[in-house]
Amino acid sequence: MEIIWYHPSQSAATWIYGLQQRLPQARVRAWQPGDDGPADYALVRSPPAEMLQGRTGLRGVFALGAGVDEILKQLQQYPDMLPEEVPLFRLEDTGMAQQMQEYAVHSVLSWFRRFDDYRLQQQQHCWQPLPAYPRNSFTLGILGAGVLGRSVAEALKPWGFPVRVWSRSPKQIAGVTSFAGPEALHDFLQGTRVLINLLPSTAETINLINHDFFQQLPHGAFFLNIARGAQVVEEDLLAALNSGQLKAAALDVFQVEPLPESHPLWSHPRVTLTPHNAAVTLIDEAIDYIARAIDQHQAGEIPQGRVDRQRGY
């Protein structure tokens, strides 16, 4: 079995060693330009089109991340890069869920306990206790109820806040209110005090979170984006922050990355930024999943994480 690997920024050595330890029957190599040798499986992040084009023996492609929007965007430009019959898989968790939970819990508790307000008061040398927010009306709304959205909902439940999710289809999560479909989005937003975006990146979600979207939230709501920057109209986000419609935002992803030095989000007093690292791929966990999935695929089974290219996840 032949496996080719490509990542634009990571070292191949750890991946190759780990895969060979778990799949001793496989020969694993880092793909280089001009390599058109045999390959049964490809492990990729933002692969050059030439890596995959014309590979008639390819049995599956594994994206080295939870999102596959980069590959799907490439397929729009190079439709022959990956034939429809070749399955595409993504990393559904592999350690990312716990990292997302940590990020979300930290952000929610910081806002609920008003640490953002106290940081601003500290800069002014102001000693002033602030009224507490009522817990029973500090409703947390999660956009997206897939593996990561569900895990974040589960992590937030023990803190006693009302938790709700919105997704394309109804979800059953104990103790969590589920809203489904476009017709339920308005009701979901109206009662949401903290909006957490964990939607997959699809044609339907690009620029979804805009002025009209923010206006449906209660005045003074909070916004956490740990999904994709392309889903948010940043000019509308800034306007909502400046008007007070949004009280604060924590942002890990942006329309352009790295965020340009001149972008006003850098210096906004109500914005907390991180450099797209809310959840990073943990190599050992990812290799475990990929090795297990390849064994399942070789045995004629369908591994978890197969992407529906029409839906985008």
- Sequence-distant (6+) residues with CB within 8 A of 125 are none
- Sequence-distant (6+) residues with CB within 8 A of 100 are 148, 151, 152, 198, 226, 278, 279
Inter-CA distances, 105 with 58, 90, 156, Å: 41, 25, 6
Catalytic residues: 228, 276
Per the DSSP assignment, residues forming a β-bridge with 121 are none
The helix/strand/coil state of 44 is: strand
Burial 179-189 (b: 16+ CB within 10 A, else e): bbeeeebeebb
- Sequence-distant (6+) residues with CB within 8 A of 145 are 153, 165, 166, 167, 171, 173, 178
Inter-CA distances, 234 with 126, 138, 271, Å: 31, 25, 12
Q: How far apart are the first and last CA of the chain?
A: 27
